[in-house]
Structure 1
Amino acid sequence: MPGPAWPPSRFWQYWALAGMVILTGAFWWGVEGYALFEGGYARSQIADGLLRFSLLVLTPALVLLWLAAAWLRRRVGETGYWQMLALVAMTWGSAILVTRMMLR
């Protein structure tokens, strides 16, 4: 039985590159956001809610969407997968940006 095709398709090359950014960002926000949460830096209810939402919902959603690439690629196609990943990544990034602006 022959092994997998090498080099991997362009999709998987981009997926691995996106993973480096996504996993690094998720780890960074997990540590940074948790420190902000534990330190009690969120003075308003809106900042606290956005901080919790970005930590508990958006960060795991981003990582799970990245991990489910093979399954989603078969169902929505390559273009659909990248659009979904971009939508969640932009939502995640926007929530973090607004949260950090509100905590300053």
Structure 2
Amino acid sequence: MGGPAWPPSRFWQYWALAGMVVLTAAFWWGVEGYAIFEARRHGQIAEGLLRFTLLILTPALVLAWLAAAWLRRRVGEAGYWQLLGLIAMIWTGSVLVTRILLR
């Protein structure tokens, strides 16, 4: 029986924890951002940033999380966490700026 080793490595344990945060945040912003977009009470800059975060950054965040095994082989464990952290920080900053512009 050549199944996966149990318990999973620390990388995959952290990956699962990160997934809870990433997927929850992406779902929240998808629902929240869509509701904001439908309200149509914002300027061109806020609308452009809102579209960018919804259509580009949110899928990029989820895809970077999903592609962990492939990216881990290419850039190593430390490189993967740096990449995921960088995308998460850009996503978070863009969401915060969008929320500030919409107030």
Question: Which TM bucket (shorter chain)?
Answer: over 0.9
CA distance in structure 1 between the aligned counterparts of 2:83 and 2:32, rounded to whole angstroms: 25
Q: TM-score, normalised by structure 2?
A: 0.98
CA distance in structure 2 between the aligned counterparts of 1:40 and 1:21, rounded to whole angstroms: 28
Corresponding position: 1:32 with 2:23: no
Give the Å deviation of 1:41: 2.6
Q: Write out aligned runs for 1:1-104 (5 A).
A: 1-42=1-42, 44-104=43-103
Structure 1 runs of 4+ with >6 Å offset: none
CA distance in structure 1 between the aligned counterparts of 2:28 and 2:41, rounded to whole angstroms: 17
- One-letter amino acid of the counterpart of residue 67, structure 1: L
Query: What's the Cα RMSD here?
Result: 0.6
- Deviations 1:16-53 (Å, cap 9, x if unpaired)? 000000000000000000000011132x2111100000
SS of structure 2 residue aligned to 1:7: coil
Unaligned runs of 5+ in 1: none
Q: TM-score, normalised by structure 1?
A: 0.97
Unaligned runs of 5+ in 2: none
Percentage identity across paired residues of the two chains? 77
CA distance in structure 2 between the aligned counterparts of 1:89 and 1:58, rounded to whole angstroms: 9
SS of structure 2 residue aligned to 1:82: helix
Alignment length (residue pairs): 103
